[in-house]
Structure 1
Amino acid sequence: MSRDTLNFHHSIDQIEHLYEGFYRMDRYTLTHQTFAGETLTIQRELMDRHDAVCVLPLDLATGHVVLVEQFRVGALRQENPWLLELVAGLIDKDEVPEQVARREAQEEAGVELGRLHPITEYLPSPGGTNERVFLYVGEVDSRGVSGIHGLDEEGEDIRVHRIPLDQAIDWCKDGTINNAASLIALQWVQLNRAWLRDHWSVAT
Structure 2
Amino acid sequence: MKKQFGTDDVEIISHEPLYEGFFKMEKYRYRHKQYQGGWSPVVEREIFERGNAVGVLLYDPRLDRFVMIEQCRPGALKDKHSPWLLEIIAGMVEEGEYPHEVAYREALEESHCKVYKLIEMLGYWVSPGGTTEYIDLFLGLVDSSNLVEYAGLDDEHEDIKVLALSRHEMLQLLANGGISNAMALIAFQWFLLNEQQLDLAGKQ
TM-score range, shorter chain: over 0.9
Distance 1:201 1:154 in 2: 34
Partner of 1:61, secondary structure, is coil
Distance 2:178 2:148 in 1: 20
Deviation string 1:138-179 (CA, Å, 9 cap, x unpaired) is 110111213111111111110000001232132122211011
Q: Which residue of 1 aligns with 2:92?
A: 90
| Aligned-partner residue type, residue 94 of structure 1 | G
Distance 1:130 1:171 in 2: 29
Q: Which residue of 2 aligns with 1:133?
A: 135
Structure 2 residue 50 is the aligned partner of structure 1 residue 27? no
Distance 1:171 1:69 in 2: 14
Distance 2:147 2:62 in 1: 15
Superposition pairs of residues 69-88 of structure 1, within 5 angstroms: 69-79=70-80, 80-88=82-90
CA contact 1:148–1:158 (8 Å) conserved in 2: yes
Deviation string 1:26-82 (CA, Å, 9 cap, x unpaired) is 011111112221322111111112211110110111110000000111112212111
Superposition pairs of residues 136-155 of structure 1, within 5 angstroms: 136-155=138-157
CA contact 1:8–1:33 (8 Å) conserved in 2: no
Distance 2:202 2:69 in 1: 29
Distance 2:7 2:155 in 1: 46
- Residue 3 of structure 1 and its aligned partner are, at CA, apart by 2.1
Partner of 1:120, secondary structure, is strand
Give the superposed CA RMSD: 1.8
Partner of 2:57, secondary structure, is strand
Distance 1:166 1:182 in 2: 16
- Residue 91 of structure 1 and its aligned partner are, at CA, apart by 0.9
Distance 1:160 1:100 in 2: 19
| Aligned-partner residue type, residue 39 of structure 2 | T
Deviation string 1:88-117 (CA, Å, 9 cap, x unpaired) is 111111211111111111111011101100
Unpaired stretches in structure 1, ≥5 consecutive residues: none
CA contact 1:169–1:186 (8 Å) conserved in 2: no
Distance 1:55 1:27 in 2: 31
| Aligned-partner residue type, residue 12 of structure 1 | I
Q: Which residue of 2 aligns with 1:178?
A: 180
Partner of 2:191, secondary structure, is helix
Superposition pairs of residues 9-20 of structure 1, within 5 angstroms: 9-20=9-20
Structure 2 residue 33 is the aligned partner of structure 1 residue 60? no
CA contact 2:61–2:200 (8 Å) conserved in 1: no
The total of aligned residue pairs comes to: 202
Deviates more, 1:20-29 or 1:183-192: 183-192
| Aligned-partner residue type, residue 55 of structure 2 | C
Deviates more, 1:112-121 or 1:29-38: 29-38
Structure 2 residue 11 is the aligned partner of structure 1 residue 6? no
Partner of 1:194, secondary structure, is helix
